[in-house]
Amino acid sequence: MAGLAESGSNPDVELLYEINGLAKDAPHWFDRVMEFVGEYGVVFALLLLVLWCWWTVRRRGGEDAASSVAALLWAPLAAGVAVLVNVPIRGFVERPRPFHDHQGLEVLVSGKTDYSFVSDHATLVMAMGVGLFVANRRFGLVGIALALFGGFCRVYMGVHYPTDVVGGFALGTAVALLLSPVAMALLTPLTRAVERSPRLGGLVSARRTAAGRDAVIPGARKESPGSEERDLAA
């Protein structure tokens, strides 16, 4: 392969051709599936996973419900912060997309004109996966697995070098973990305030809302069985 020959002994480029070469051998419909998954599917699946975890947490309730919901809020926020951090990195490195410098790649998504390092997609999905892991280990492991697959898709699609993806994984993980204490310190008081709210408390704990409905107001008259009949008889 001409493009591979031009890469010399660069393992990054060699691995790019190896993974992207799978797209050439795959059926057209499979490439279209990988294109959708790599562009949108993994991000959408991670958002659904965060919502599923939130639904589980609020149904369970408990004393730690507010802190758990705060950690879940951090997952998508960490993804956004990590992508913002990546903006100056991409501008500083200015690495072109692989299909600009290497021939023979099967590029599944055209029109990519921005820089390649580091991958925004890889940064976003790994930050969300690690943020979810901070909130819930079981859901987080699934999220990290989805993020790893999303990074593979970016190389398969021919739009990123493997090191672009690895750099994105490292950046997303660093932001999600290093800023987590600060995020929790800011978000936990907010979710606790929401939990105490009569109207919005159900967003944090369904049990707390149910307990509030069943609570007896101090000083209120408690009706006993048969009281209505006695009033009518009187």
Span 198-212, pLDDT tens digits: 887 777 777 654 444
- The contacts of residue 146 (CB under 8 Å, 6+ apart) are 42, 45, 46, 49, 125, 129
Helix 42-60 vs helix 206-214: crossing angle, to nearest 10: 30
Q: If we measure between CA atoms, which residue out of 51, 81, 91, 47 comes closest to residue 186? A: 81
Residue 36 parent element (H or E): helix 28-36
- In this predicted structure, which of 37-51, 79-93, 151-165, 207-221 has the lowest mean pLDDT? 207-221
Q: Rounded to an integer, what distance in angstroms lies between the CA atom of residue 103 and that of residue 186?
A: 49
- In this predicted structure, which of 2-6, 121-125, 126-130, 151-155 has the lowest mean pLDDT? 2-6
Using the Cα atoms of residue 39, residue 45, residue 48 and residue 53 in order, give the sign of their dihedral.
Answer: negative
Q: Are 172 and 127 in contact (CB under 8 A)?
A: yes
- In this predicted structure, which of 3-12, 35-44, 109-118, 215-224 has the lowest mean pLDDT? 215-224
Task: Measure CA 77 to chain center.
Answer: 9
Average pLDDT over residues 65-82: 92
Q: If we measure between CA atoms, which residue out of 100, 71, 83 comes closest to residue 192? A: 71
Which tokens is 153 given?
């898709």
The model's pTM: 0.81
Q: List phi, psi (to 5°) of 58.
A: -70, -30
Give the pLDDT band of residue 217 (cuts 50, 70, 90): very low
Per-residue DSSP letter, 202: G
Which tokens is 95 given?
């690495």
Long-range residue pairs from 188-196, CB within 8 A, at least 24 positions apart, any chain: 188/66, 188/67, 188/70, 190/70, 191/66, 191/67, 191/69, 191/70, 191/73, 192/66, 194/66, 195/65, 195/66
